[in-house]
Amino acid sequence: MTSDLPKPNLLHTMQLGMLKHLLEWLSVFLKQHNRFEAFNNIWLSVPAYLDMAQPWWTYKEVSSWQGKEIKTMSCFLVAILRCALRAPSASQHGIFNQAIECSRVLGEFYFYSQYDTHDEQTLGLMSTALRDFHHFKDVFCHFRAGKSVTQEGKAR
**Interval 96-145: pLDDT, tens:** 999 999 999 999 998 888 888 889 999 999 999 999 999 999 998 876 65
Best CA proximity match to 30, nearest among 118, 92, 113: 92
Task: Supply the pLDDT for residue 1.
Answer: 44
More confidently predicted of 77 and 156: 77
Task: Supply the pLDDT for residue 3.
Answer: 53
pLDDT, tens only, 27-45: 999 999 999 999 988 988 8
Average pLDDT of the residues in 72-88:
90
Close Cβ partners of 41 (under 8 Å, ≥ 6 residues apart) = 58
CA pair distance 27, 150, nearest whole angstrom: 16
Question: Which residues, listed in sequence order, are joined to residue 49 by a DSSP beta bridge?
Answer: 52
Neighbours of 67 (CB within 10 A): 15
- pTM, full prediction: 0.78
CA pair distance 137, 113, nearest whole angstrom: 19
CA atoms within 13 A on the CB side of 51: 4
Task: Supply the pLDDT for residue 22.
Answer: 87
pLDDT band at 2 (very low <50, low <70, confident <90, very high): low
Best CA proximity match to 29, nearest among 75, 90, 21: 21
Average pLDDT of the residues in 12-37:
85
Average pLDDT of the residues in 139-153:
63
Q: What percent of the chain has pLDDT over 90?
A: 42
CA pair distance 75, 117, nearest whole angstrom: 21
Q: Helix or strand or coil: residue 52?
A: strand
CA pair distance 154, 156, nearest whole angstrom: 5
Whether the predicted pLDDT of 78 surpasses 90:
yes
Whether the predicted pLDDT of 52 surpasses 70:
no
More confidently predicted of 120 and 75: 120
Distances (CA, A) of 3 to 31, 71, 116: 45, 25, 10
